[in-house]
Amino acid sequence: MQQTVTIDCPPEILLGLHLNAEGFAKYLKQQAAINLFKEGRLSSGTAAAWLGIDRVTFLAMAFAAGAILLEDTADDFAREIALL
């Protein structure tokens, strides 16, 4: 079941960012997916599916935003290769 979240946004924020409501929603969704991934609360696959993009594209976006994609532990490595 899909849920919709509504937030209030003053028009000056949209004007300042040069975005319409749809563009701002897309931006917020991408930022949320990346940050939840960075916090370890979403897998890269789940985040990519939420955004409607492939996992490699999502990982490139997350890396560009400063996410650590793979730590130096065997558990992290095993978890990531299991998703391939």
Express each pLDDT in 8-50 by its tens digit: 999 999 999 999 999 999 999 999 999 999 999 999 999 999 9
Total-model pTM: 0.78
Please say if the pLDDT value at position 72 is more than 80.
no
Q: What is the dihedral of CA 44, 49, 53, 55, to 10 degrees?
A: 30
Give the residue extent of every domain in the chain: 11-82
pLDDT score for 79? 76
Confidence band for 73, pLDDT divided at 50, 70 and 90: confident
Residue 21 contacts residue 14 (beta carbons within 8 Å): yes
Residue 75 has pLDDT above 90, yes or no: no
- Residues 74-83: what's their mean pLDDT? 76
